Amino acid sequence: MRKVAIVGIGHTVFGNLSEFDLVDVMSFASANALEDAGILKDRKIIDQLFVANMGGGIINHQTGIASALVSRIDLEPAMAELVENGPASGASAIKCGFAAIASGMVDTVMVTGGELMRTVTGWKGTDFVATLLHPEVEYNYGLTLPAFAGIFTRMYMERYGLTERDLALVAVKDHENGARNPYAHVQIPVTVEAIHEGENAHVINNYVAEPVRLYGTCPVSDGAASLILCAMDSPKMKYFTKKEPVLISGIGSATDTHCVHHRKDPLDLKAVHLGAERAYKMAGLKPEDMSFAELHDAFVILELAISEEVGFFQKGKAQEAVREGVTRIDGRLPINTSGGLKAKGHPVGATGVSQVYELVKQLRGEAEEGRQVKNPKHGLAVNFGGFGNNVVATICSKEA
């Protein structure tokens, strides 16, 4: 299998970009990646574009997005396809790009993920994301993603002694990182006193789906991120001299039952566990080799649960690591250095690409002051689709 490197990265700010259309936003990130890779003029060397998006057809009334983007950024006649895997669309698109290069089908791929969610009401936004649930036995009974997060969090609390204060600590840590990330949707640090202990906390940090509170949930965001991938053995690598390439050393995914109630134990996120295991195996690495990680914290409980499933902590022990500061930027294993979905935002189709963007930025040593991990070698990203039914794990490494 050919080695695949990431040779260019691009990102828009996450937040309210509703004055632009979806393809505009994606083209901003794509152009940014072309510039980062140093091939803005030579962009026609891109063989294939994979676009990640979940809701264009539903909330933006736009389909054929890959065809629109390839034309908007003047990449024709490159091949172009859309990849949709719910909130894990971004990492799935990376996986498709990786496979296309590794198999020898193409040499260079652009992967761009984007979503425009703030043009609709919160109701409509929640409704659109909930279309990934089972339409008859889940959504019909009022289950949405925040509702699942509430149930999951309650079960976790009862079994492992997790407290609302622990959840607030995760949010504080994520916002601290997000405040230093110029692309984050919410660039404001928050304090545990204000969102958990203070007299006004019940309103400032109100319940969204008890026991999940506002600061236990990601914001609804617009935004896009983009990557350029190239085969390390390709003659086209000569174009990419501007930055050090970062290797995709492992990538794996796995699925679980569509309906959460079909799982023997809803707290077991088997697809996360298996997806990460496959990525570790491909990379020849172990959890303890990871220098940092970007984990899909659409709800902060997921940061804790995923960090256990990928082997960083024993089951039910992640909150202890948070209390001890292990996952802070200066801790032993920094998690969500970008601010995570919690502070950086979660434009669903963009998220998986944005997570890997962060891995590359950290591995290049380009993160902003105060959120750069010391001498990172390997980073793990987990992009969580459905309520854990289709998950992709990606490991990036500094080239040895």
Partner 1 sequence: MIIDEMEKKLRPPEMGLKPYPPKVITLASGELMVVREAKREEVGVLLETIHPLMGVPKDFYDIVAARMFAEILGWYRYRVANEFVLVGAIDGVIAGIVNSRCVDEKVGMSLHTIAIKRGLRAGAQLFAAKMEHHLENIGEEQVYIVAESPIGFKRWMIEYELENWEDRYPQVSHELGGVPTYVLTRKLYDAVRDQKVTGTRPVDPAVLATADKLKAPDEYAQIPGFKRGK
Write out the residues near partner 1 by the rule CB under 8 A: 16, 18-19, 119, 121-123, 186-191, 193-195, 198-207, 215
Give dist(CA 260, CA 263) in Å, integer. Answer: 6
Q: In terms of CB distance, is 220 or 395 closer to partner 1?
A: 220
Give dist(CA 339, CA 28) in Å, integer. Answer: 21
Q: In terms of CB distance, is 193 or 399 closer to partner 1?
A: 193
Minimum separation from the CB atom of position 190 to partner 1 (A)? 4
Q: In terms of CB distance, is 74 or 197 closer to partner 1?
A: 197
CA atoms 266, 268, 270, 272: torsion sign:
positive
Minimum separation from the CB atom of position 32 to partner 1 (A)? 18
As a whole number of Å, the CA-based R_g of the chain is 19
Q: In terms of CB distance, is 198 or 370 closer to partner 1?
A: 198
Minimum separation from the CB atom of position 193 to partner 1 (A)? 6
Please answer whether residues 111 and 215 qualify as being in contact, where contact means their C-beta atoms are separated by less than 8 angstroms. Answer: no
In this structure, what are the phi and psi dihedrals at residue 230, rounded to the nearest 5 degrees? -145, 145
For residue 110, give the H/E element and its range.
strand 108-115
Minimum separation from the CB atom of position 191 to partner 1 (A)? 4
Residue-by-residue DSSP string for 281-349: HHHT--GGG-SEEEE--SBHHHHHHHHHHTTSS-TT-HHHHHHTTTTSTTSSS-B-TT-HHHHH---HH
Q: In terms of CB distance, is 291 or 336 closer to partner 1?
A: 336
Q: In terms of CB distance, is 140 or 191 closer to partner 1?
A: 191
Minimum separation from the CB atom of position 16 to partner 1 (A)? 7
Q: In terms of CB distance, is 16 or 71 closer to partner 1?
A: 16
Minimum separation from the CB atom of position 140 to partner 1 (A)? 22
Please answer whether residues 167 and 213 qualify as being in contact, where contact means their C-beta atoms are separated by less than 8 angstroms. Answer: yes
Minimum separation from the CB atom of position 176 to partner 1 (A)? 11
Give dist(CA 392, CA 382) in Å, integer. Answer: 6
273: which residues sit within 8 A by CB, 6+ positions away? 254, 309, 310
Give dist(CA 232, CA 65) in Å, integer. Answer: 29
